[in-house]
Amino acid sequence: MSAGYIPLLESTAGELRRRLHEPAAHVAARLAELSPTAHNCAACQALGHLDSGDATDEPDEVEGLCLPHLQVALASGPAAEVGARLIADQARRLEELAEDMHSYSLKRDAVR
């Protein structure tokens, strides 16, 4: 998750710094521009990719979503096969993460 947030945080911080000398009310009015839109949101892009029929059965074709974005994506009412694919991809990624954490834990215990 940290790696995914780095570009978002850096670009948002940079944009805020560029607006540092603008009136606060003007910056407040433009903050919505810093938020993801359907064109640059990972959840929207994943749904669009899957809905378009361009997705293959390759598990890494779609990056996967954080749980809040997965919830939003599923709540948007995607086609049944798209919803199932998103859920299966997320479950697989969580299992992989759990396995990595388990391996790390075992290595760390072995060092002690």
CA angle 70, 72, 74 (to 5 degrees): 65
* Residue-wise DSSP of 6-25: HHHHHHHHHHHHHTTTS-HH
The kind and range of the H/E element at 73 are helix 67-75
Position with higher pLDDT, 91 vs 46: 91
Q: Are residues 26 and 51 in the same domain?
A: no
Of the pLDDT bands very low, low, confident and very high (cuts 50, 70, 90), residue 59 is: very low
Number of domains in the chain: 2
pLDDT for position 37? 66
Of the pLDDT bands very low, low, confident and very high (cuts 50, 70, 90), residue 51 is: low
Q: Are residues 86 and 112 in the same domain?
A: yes
Q: What's the mean pLDDT in 51-79? A: 70
Q: Are residues 86 and 97 in the same domain?
A: yes
pTM equals 0.51
Domain that holds residue 48: 38-112
Q: Are residues 57 and 21 in the same domain?
A: no
Q: Are residues 104 and 59 in the same domain?
A: yes
Q: Are residues 87 and 100 in the same domain?
A: yes
